[in-house]
Structure 1
Amino acid sequence: MIRKLTQNDHNTVLSFLSEEPSINLFIIGDLEVFGYDSDFQEIWAEFDKYGEIKAVLLRFYQSFIPYAKGEFNVGKFVSIITSYPRPFFLSGKSDIVEKFEAFQKLQLGKKQETFFAECKSTENLGENNLEIKKATLDDIDQILAIRRSIDEFQIRDDAAEMLRTSMENSTARSYFTEENGQMTACVSTTAENSISAMIVGVCTRKEYRRKGLATGIMQKLFTDILNEGKVLCLFYDNPEAGRIYKRLGFKDIGKWTMYR
């Protein structure tokens, strides 16, 4: 049986998702912030014959994230997704979302696969003498400016609005260094929830690279988040970046696939 969940199901679905808190941080965070009654967010669950959840599907606007611990009714989830107007986007744990590739009517877009890593301990984090600041809403323009200076970053048109909303909801934070009033390096979180946080936006202006600024910021940010009892997680597809993260205590726990 598949049905849409309500607030009455919250403890049950959170228990199901919390067995892999890093993999499910987007679903957990969205449920904690936006709940079950918004126009732009819905979540369905498939139940086994004993009434236990075996799979879920989250819709956040036109983006869908499935999660399951074993076999599930992929076809039914496909029917739910295709009942919404295009374009829609699919992402999730690779071995789960790849089951959707067999359904041609989804017309999945370009496939991007990244490594998914998590960190649970501060034991590999050092200290430094950098002056590191925590960003406020007044720093949003500078955060986006430094991100735009990085060739690999793609900044959405509504990035400022999204970042402001996330900071106001306490689902995102940014730490940075600066020189002469200009932001020189920055590291951010997104999708923060009660048990986990995603690291994003690790960037340093080209003229300030190779000085350890981003690593120093990460040490400070990671320590603060881990001391709050949360698990850190991130995506990476750059082997050099992966080596840096692993020196800081991250371990690969799987792969994440997005279709755009």
Structure 2
Amino acid sequence: MHRVEHVMGLPVSVRIEGEGRGTDPVDPAEAADRVFAWLREADARFSPFLADSEVSRFGRGEVAADGLSPDLAEILDLCERYRAESGGAFQVRLPGRGLDPCAVVKGWAVERAAELLRAAGVTTFCLNAGGDVVAAGRPWRVGVRHPERADRVCVVVEVADGAVATSGRYERGDHIFDGRTGRAATGLLGLTVVAASLTEADAVATTGFAMGVEGVEWAAAREGCEVFAVDAGRRVLRSPGFPVAPRT
């Protein structure tokens, strides 16, 4: 079963192989319904681009910190963790900009969607949100787009049970900022992280990208993370355990 919908401002696809298992299995189509319903809910609640979202209302001071939903409190705790661990390079509040936790929200929400699939008894699936992927059940091959050639990939990853996330400048231009300087991060063209969860992979990729070239070593030093990067000088940097797919 394969379905694609546009949600959270990007194309999201879910591919499910086999039937659900477990004590309360559901058919693949129903499992996909749950995934997209949750992602639409997450977008409505946590998008900084929607005036009535919880994120926007909190950013304007209309919701007190002690009145936050447990989900948003968890997201903001993650944001603070990466801010502290990056020495301030990762920021969700930049001068002249409102609260924007999107760098954590997307990976967190898609990982939660993957948990819904697992809870439904789905064991083999690939969930792809704009190139950031959660895969399970068998080896899946994930192509990482070349940072300067839209018609090419620069590396193909093989992941069986884990996640792949890439941060780069090729889709949205200079949209990731180094919170230490307030300027756009331009030291890298692309940074891909493989980790156990998309929450971790996505946040580490964004944080490392914001840090520039030093962020590659920072990301690779994190437990369970493998890294592939291309810097502004077109130099390829890769951690030893990065799971490049075998040639076929």
Q: TM-score, normalised by structure 2?
A: 0.25
* Structure with more relative contact order (C-alpha pairs < 8 Å, separation 6 or more): 1
